[in-house]
């Protein structure tokens, strides 16, 4: 058991959050919104697929 790596979710969250802050630094709110929208629209991650399905349902209402 001592050889197993420990998973630190707080450290991971902090690392991801810092990367996003650097990525969006200097962008307006609209530019950040557009960039997030484009990422979700082109990603195949489970969260993005849920978002894409919700957008399709929204478009048909």
pLDDT tens-place string over residues 23-53: 999 999 999 999 999 999 999 999 999 999 9
Q: Which two tokens stand for residue 2?
A: 């001592």
Q: What DSSP letter does each residue of 2-57 carry, written as one string?
A: TTSPPP-HHHHHHHHHHHHHHHHTT--HHHHHHHHHHHHHH--SHHHHHHHHHHHH
pLDDT band at 2 (very low <50, low <70, confident <90, very high): low
Asked whether residue 1 is domain-assigned, the answer is: no
Handedness of CA 50, 56, 57, 59 (dihedral sign): positive
Question: Is residue 24 situated within a structural domain?
Answer: no
Number of domains in the chain: 1
Tell me, yes or no, whether 37 lies in a domain: yes
SS3 category, 1: coil
Domain assignment of residue 18, yes or no: no
The structure's pTM equals 0.66
> Does 52 map to a domain?
yes
Provide the pLDDT for residue 61. Answer: 73
Whether 56 maps to a domain, the answer reads yes
Q: Is residue 45 part of a domain?
A: yes
**Structural domain that includes position 35:** 29-61
Q: Is the pLDDT of residue 58 over 70?
A: yes
- The answer to whether 48 touches 40, Cβ cutoff 8 Å, is yes
């Amino acid at each position: 058991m001592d050889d197993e790596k420990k998973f630190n979710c707080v450290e991971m969250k902090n690392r991801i959050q810092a990367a996003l802050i650097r990525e969006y630094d200097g962008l307006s709110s609209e530019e950040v919104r557009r960039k997030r929208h484009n990422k979700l629209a082109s990603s195949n991650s489970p969260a993005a697929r849920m978002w894409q399905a919700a957008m399709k349902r929204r478009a048909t209402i």
